[in-house]
Amino acid sequence: MIKKKTFSSKLFSSWKKLGPGLVTGASDDDPSGIATYSQAGAAFGLATLWTAIIAFPLMAAIQQMCARIGLVTSQGLTGTLKKHYPRPILYLMLLFSFPAIVMNIGADIAGMGAVGNLLFPAIDANYFSVLFTIILLGLIIYLPYQKIAAVLKYLCIVMLVYFIVPFLYKQDFSEILKATFIPTIKFDKDFIAIIVGILGTTISPYLFFWQASVEVEEMKNKRKHLIVNKKIIHEINQDVDFGMTVSGFVMYFIILTTGTVLFKGGIHQIDTVEQAAMALKPLAGNLAYLLFAIGVIGTGLIAIPVLSGSISYIITETFGWEQGLDKKFHEAKAFYIIIAISLLLGLSLNYIGITPIQSLIYTAILYGLTAPVLIAIILHISNNKKIMGDNVNGRLTNMLGFAALIIMTVAAVALIYLQFSEK
């Protein structure tokens, strides 16, 4: 009995230490991300499984840098940019980030609504989209930061459903291992496009802003007189690594599910999350379909507060307005009004003729253009002793950061080429 209590207390203690990193990782696998991974699996089978292994260290390195910037400077990424870099760079990031994040929110709300309709066919998808928007807006405005963080963290448990789904279908484990560790490269437009889409969905600029800003929130609420030292940074890195590991596994298992069930079942064209869920039903059974659908709604509930919070942090820090999820509505009206506007604009995209797939394409383009610039700036800040003091990047972090910069730059060039080349 003592051993069990000791183990459970250790487990609970470890869980309590997890925070922004876990939520950030989970929000990376939002409904629009799930759609991208489902497209990859359905179109190319297991050929893109290896991307989860490549993406993990790059994601972790960038998010660790962002977390450290927030921790050391006590400012979000926008505040640091505003203080140390030319204003045009800041305004350019704002110009590209706002529409990209709003379209991402729109795609996620539409995906959740569509899946809600699958579970309850008698209720129109649009009603579900409106309902989810109202619920999210109410929770974000009325719950204090600590409760929002706790809700988001416990919602991350929903992500476990994606670890179950692939095993509801007979698997060839030797084939899976080969696809995981031996990269497949196909030099054709569609394959390159899906690789670029996976990278753009996985290493997303809005997460850079969120990670830095939410570390500041954590610092305000938990450590009023924080002394940044190696122990604190190690804990933050562990949190980020755990979150990115969860994100990588979810991405891996979604590609695995759709790459085995749908691809081998002859279904090679998936454009939306509801299509992926529906296609699973006759091939892998009702339980796989149900779990996949529930996972989409759960990840949307995690991701949309992160997306809307990110854009609000960006705008309020840019103009020096009061901000923070730890503040009540009357203390930071602009902050919460921006969140409300971003949610309502995202919802409205479904009614003005922009489909979720179009939103995903436009989002990918804008993220693809901004990600390399932001990664370069994050690397510069993280290696600047005037800003970071002794907490500058180590050699390994720099190597991974520059690898992410090169890969995302190549991806951006490829994305632009694919969008404007002749079909």
The per-residue pLDDT for 360 is 75
In a domain, 4, yes or no: no
Domain of residue 229 covers 20-420
Q: What is the DSSP string of 341-395?
A: HHHHHHHHGGGTT--HHHHHHHHHHHHHHHHHHHHHHHHHHHT-HHHHTT----H
As for how many domains the chain has, the answer is 1
**Three-state SS for 293?**
helix
What does the pLDDT look like over 225-247, one tens digit per residue? 556 667 778 888 888 888 888 88
Domain of 97: which CATH number? 1.20.1740.10
Flag the least confident range among 136-145, 164-173, 252-261, 414-423.
Answer: 414-423
Q: In the 8-state DSSP scheme, what is residue 123?
A: S
In a domain, 9, yes or no: no
In a domain, 2, yes or no: no
The per-residue pLDDT for 423 is 52
What does the pLDDT look like over 284-304, one tens digit per residue? 677 777 888 888 888 888 888
The model scores a pTM over 0.75 = yes
In a domain, 15, yes or no: no
In a domain, 176, yes or no: yes
Contact 49, 256 (CB under 8 A): yes
**Quick one: pLDDT band at residue 402, thresholds 50, 70, 90?**
very high
Query: Is it the case that residue 270 has pLDDT exceeding 60?
Result: yes
The per-residue pLDDT for 335 is 93
Determine what percent of the chain is predicted with pLDDT higher than 70.
90
In a domain, 3, yes or no: no
The per-residue pLDDT for 130 is 94
The per-residue pLDDT for 340 is 94
The per-residue pLDDT for 279 is 78
Query: Is it the case that residue 224 has pLDDT exceeding 60?
Result: no
C-alpha to C-alpha distance for 334 and 328, rounded to whole angstroms: 11
The per-residue pLDDT for 6 is 63
Query: Is it the case that residue 381 has pLDDT exceeding 80?
Result: yes
- 199: Cβ–Cβ under 8 A, 6 or more apart, which residues? 51, 55, 407, 408, 411
Query: Is it the case that residue 1 has pLDDT exceeding 50?
Result: no
In a domain, 42, yes or no: yes
- Selection from 12, 50, 5, 22 nearest residue 256 by Cα: 50
Structure tokens at 12: 């609970």
What does the pLDDT look like over 335-363, one tens digit per residue? 999 999 999 999 998 888 777 777 777 78
The per-residue pLDDT for 271 is 76
Q: What is the DSSP string of 226-252?
A: ----HHHHHHHHHHHHHHHHHHHHHHH
Q: Which residue has the higher pLDDT, 373 or 278?
A: 373
In a domain, 13, yes or no: no
Query: What mean pLDDT comes out for the span 61-75?
Result: 90
Query: Is it the case that residue 41 has pLDDT exceeding 80?
Result: yes
